[in-house]
Amino acid sequence: MDHKRVLVTGASSGIGRSIAELLLQQGFDVLGTSRDPETIKNKLSEVKYFALDLQDPKSIDALVPKLGDIDILINNAGQGQIGPLEEVPIEKVRSLFEVNLFGIVHLTQAILPSMRKKRNGLIINLSSMSGIFGVGFTSVYCGTKFAVEGMFRSLRQEVRPFGIKVVMIEPGYVSTGFEQERFIDKSSDYYENAKIFKAIRDHNIETGVPPQEVAEKVLFVIKQKDPKPGYPVGGDAPRNAFLSRILPVRLVEWFQRRKFSKK
C-alpha cells in the first residue's frame, strides 16, 4: 500500500479525519480537503490539506490540477438536514444536493480520466443507511443519498472495464459532530413529531459507533481485490440493510415509524 495516493474529502474531522489517520498508519500518501484548512484544529502533520467547497464548481476546478494522480478517491464530505420536506426552502434543497451529489460527481468526473488512463483506481463513497430506505424528516438528505447510490452503482458498471472499482460505504449512526441544518418551527403542524424524531436521532448519533469503525471498513474495502458494491457498517446497519431487501416495503416503513415514535 506504500505510496498509494489517496484523496479524502472532508478530512478535517469526524469520519474523514479517522480515515486519513488510519491510512497514514498503513503507509498511504494522504491528501485531505476542508472548506477552510486554516481553521483545522490538531492537523495530521503528514496530511497535505487543500481547500475545497463542493458547492462551488470553481473551487473543484481549481483543486484538481494541484493534486496530481490519485489512486483512491474517498468522497466523504457532506452535510445533513432535519425538517419536514414541505417546510425546507427550495434553495436549501438545492444547496444540499450541490454538496452531497453534484459536487462529488463533479470531483469524480475530474479525477476519472487519470484513473482510466492508468486502467486502475478505486472510488469509495461515504453514503448512508439513509440511501437504502427513507426516513421521515430527513427527506432531502435521504434524497441525496438515494441519488448517490443510484448514480455511483451505475458508474461502477461503466468503469469496471478500465480496472476502476466503485464502492459504497453505508454507515448507520456514527458518533461525530455531523453538520445538520435544522428546519423545525414551533408554529408548524409537524413540530411535535419532528421534535420527537430529532430527540431520538440525536440520541442515536451520540451513542453511535466511533468513526474509527467506519475507517476500518474503508481500509478493508481497499484491501479487497474485487469489493462488493456496498458495505453497511456500524451497529445494526448490516442487519437493517439485509432486512430492507427481504421484507415487504410496508413492514419496513412500519419499523421506521415505530423506531422514531414516542415510546
CATH code where residue 243 lies: 3.40.50.720
Domain of residue 65: give its range: 5-259
How many structural domains are present in the chain?
Answer: 1
149-201 per-position pLDDT tens digit = 999 999 999 999 999 999 999 999 899 877 788 999 999 999 999 999 899 88
242 has a pLDDT exceeding 80? no
Confidence of residue 238 (pLDDT cuts 50, 70, 90): confident
pTM: 0.92
Q: Between the CA of residue 216 and those of 99, 122, 171, 235, what are the distances in Å?
A: 25, 16, 12, 14
Percent of the chain's residues with pLDDT above 90? 74
Confidence of residue 13 (pLDDT cuts 50, 70, 90): very high
pLDDT of residue 1: 55
74 has a pLDDT exceeding 90? yes
Rg for the chain, CA atoms, rounded: 18
Residues with active-site annotation: 12, 127, 141, 145
Task: Single out the residue of 35, 28, 27 nearest to residue 9, CA to CA.
Answer: 35
